[in-house]
Amino acid sequence: MATKLSVGIDVCMTWERRFYLNLPEVQKALHANRTNLPYPWSMCSSVVNYSDTDGNIDMLPLLKRIVQNHIPVWVFSGDQDSVVPLLGSRTLIRELAHDLNFKVTVPYGAWFHKGQVGGWATEYGNLLTFATVRGAAHMVPYAQPSRALHLFSSFVRGRRLPNTTRPSIDD
C-alpha cells in the first residue's frame, strides 16, 4: 500500500512520506535519528514547539549575513507553485541584491536540462542566485525530479546552470 499511487495526483503522499522517512534503512542512509529517539518521525511534531508566528520571520537578514561571508546562496522556486509563487521570491532576492550593491552577474534567462528549458535563472554578485524550475509545483523534487537534481548538483558543485542546450562534459 505504501507504494500504491493514484493516477495523476498522489493523494496518499502525506502518509507515504511518514512511512518512508520512518524506514530504518532510509534513516540510516540519511544519517538521521542516530540517537534512536523514542518516538517516530512526523512532519510537524510538538517536540520542537514551533510558534505560529515563526512563519512570518523575515529571512532576508539571515541570507544577507550568509552571502556577506562569501557563501553562495541559491533560492529556487517551482514556476507552477501556487503556495509560494515565484514572483514574490524573485522580487525579494532582487531587493536583497540591491541592498548588497550586487551587480547582475548572470542576466535573467533560461537554463537547460536534457535539451529543454529547465527553468530560468539570474545571479547577482557571483554569489546570489535565483532560479526557477519549469513545470515544478510547491515540492520541486517531487514534481520535477530530474531538473531538481540538476539544480541541486550544480549548486553543490559550485557550477552555474547551463545557459545553452549543448551538453556539458559531465552529461
Ligand X SMILES: *[C@@H]1O[C@H](CO)[C@@H](O)[C@H](O)[C@H]1NC(C)=O
Does position 36 interact with ligand X (CB under 6 A)? The reply is yes
Strand runs labelled E in 21-146: 73-78, 104-113, 116-124, 128-133
Minimum distance between the CB of residue 84 and ligand X, rounded to whole angstroms?
26
41 binds ligand X (CB under 6 A): yes
Nearest distance, CB of residue 29 and ligand X, angstroms:
13
Among candidate residues 87, 130, 126, 120, the one with its CA nearest the CA of residue 103? 126
Cα–Cα distance between 75 and 22 in angstroms, integer? 28
Q: Segment contacting ligand X (CB under 6 A): 4-12, 35-43, 59-67, 79-87? A: 35-43
Which region among 34-42, 53-61, 74-82, 123-131 touches ligand X (by CB under 6 A)? 34-42
Report yes or no: 140 and 79 within 8 Å, Cβ to Cβ: no
Shortest distance (Å) from residue 48 CB to ligand X: 9
